[in-house]
Amino acid sequence: MAKLEKGADAPDFELEDQDGNRVRLIDFRGKKLLVYFYPRADTLGCTKQACSIRDSRADLRKAGIAFLGMSPDTPDKQKKFDEKYQLDFPLLTDTDHRVAEAFGA
């Protein structure tokens, strides 16, 4: 697995989110972006992580930081996770782990 070095350009991606939207890295060009990876939606650790970002979203937005989560879950599972915890931010589907591996996650 490759390791993304500090200061390196993030690997390009285009993935579907929980609402069926295509989300591309290029959409965030010129912005700060927090990308976090999790192994499976609606598990204890992943839920804590997602809710922490949800609870910090006002501060993140105030600092000009966009954010999104990514896991191998299907869009339907991501949607249920989003609705259950009112996450209200993009949860991307990386079913083949291609993007996670490119990031070294």
Tell me the catalytic residues: 46
Residue 47 CA to residue 64 CA, distance in Å, equals 24
Torsion, Cα of 55, 35, 98, 6 (10° steps) = -150
